[in-house]
Amino acid sequence: MAMGWLANAVLDAEEDEDAVAELMVNRRQLRDEQNPFELPEVQFQQLFRLSRKLASDLVNHLRPHLERDRSHGLSVECQVLCAVRFYAVGSYQRAIGQDFMVAISQTAVSRCLKSVSAAINDHLLQQWVKFPATPQQREEARRKFPRAPQPFTGAIGAIDRTHIAILSPQEHEEAYVNHHGYHSLNVQMVCDPNLRILNVNARFPGSRHDAAIWTQSPVRTLMEMCYGDGEHGTWLLGDSGYPLKPWLMTPITNARVGTAEFAYTTAHCKARSVIERCFGVLKVVWRCLSQQRVLMYDHEAAGRIVNACATLHNMRLHYGVLPLDDVPVTSRTVRLRGRR
């Protein structure tokens, strides 16, 4: 009796192995038959949020760091598009792997996301997210705000923070509960009036106050040093959660209408609103950062994903990729949306 049960178990295991092997073959065939880069530009952008040119250049930049020795390993193109697809929709890994344009297992999606995020952080982040470090760069940055729709002479950037929902950490869980009551990273960013991100800091837990994050920011150290060296009249724009400094302008609360203080605060708030628009665009394009999605990863992995999305945001601006609302919608695009 026992021998019969054992024989049946062995047969079932062999059938399961055969089924898995067949599934792997089918996925490989599907990947070989599908070439996302042959999609029309509109459909490609709807799926991956990048233009084909930008995606191709991204693959080439990361190729030396993602190339695998195994002949049957995933191509760099597949790895990059898999990770970018996750950033774009923020779905579960299994759902990403079952996408007809990706066709890989959940564990493969996990490896792709980890390796691509690490490669972007290690090799592209500092190249594409740069705060103006030299006097010449800051002078060039100063010229942008006076020409902006909401001008503010002397400003080189607007600073604020946003919460990115994450999985509840196993250690120091209470530190990651923000004032809204959910677990998050408190991510600080600086952007210019063109929505270009100049600095991103995704290392701090959700309960950490804005001023405390700012105190430990290299940007603060740089701005303070520049002011000490005699570079006056150059500042960042922050809300009332930041301390007023000669290099960090904040609004004047309860300013009376008609006064110079009220005029200053009005101009300040209008100019500083650019950082709110930057957060909005970032989370609309890269839906994995939306609170409704929640990054189901530890704080370090979530921070790398935030940095990767900030890098791709700036690359989109550089390549002139249209905002999602400006991309024409075709009947084919509607069908693709329906498959998500």
How many angstroms separate the CA atoms of 133 and 97, rounded? 41
105 and 212: one domain?
no
Assigned domain for 330 exists: no
pLDDT of residue 335: 31
pLDDT of residue 312: 98
Predicted structure pTM score: 0.85
Least Cα distance to 137 among 183, 198, 205, 58 occurs for: 198
pLDDT of residue 10: 45
Q: Residue 255 pLDDT > 80, yes or no?
A: yes
Of the residues 94, 123, 152, the one at which a domain ends: 123
pLDDT band for position 16 (cuts 50, 70, 90) = low
- 3-state DSSP helix/strand/coil percent for the chain, to nearest 5? 55, 10, 35
Name the strand (E) or helix (H) holding 139.
Answer: helix 135-142
How many angstroms separate the CA atoms of 185 and 322, rounded? 28
pLDDT band for position 94 (cuts 50, 70, 90) = confident
pLDDT of residue 31: 53
Assigned domain for 10 exists: no
Q: Residue 125 pLDDT > 80, yes or no?
A: yes
pLDDT of residue 338: 31
Q: Residue 137 pLDDT > 50, yes or no?
A: yes
pLDDT above 90 covers a percentage of the chain that reads 72
111 and 183: one domain?
no
Write the pLDDT tens digit of every residue in 206-244. Answer: 999 888 999 999 999 999 999 999 999 999 999 999 999
40 and 146: one domain?
no
153 and 44: one domain?
no
Structural domain that includes position 47: 34-123
pLDDT of residue 337: 31
How many angstroms separate the CA atoms of 170 and 80, rounded? 29
For residue 259, the 8-state DSSP code is: S
Query: Which amino acid is located at 119 in the chain?
Result: A
The total domain count for the chain is 2
Backbone angles phi, psi at 154, to 5 degrees: 100, -20
How many angstroms separate the CA atoms of 191 and 311, rounded? 12
Higher-pLDDT residue of 290, 328: 290
Write the pLDDT tens digit of every residue in 151-185. Answer: 999 999 999 999 999 999 988 999 999 999 999 99
Q: Residue 124 pLDDT > 60, yes or no?
A: yes
182 Cβ partners below 8 Å, 6+ apart? 163, 165, 206, 291
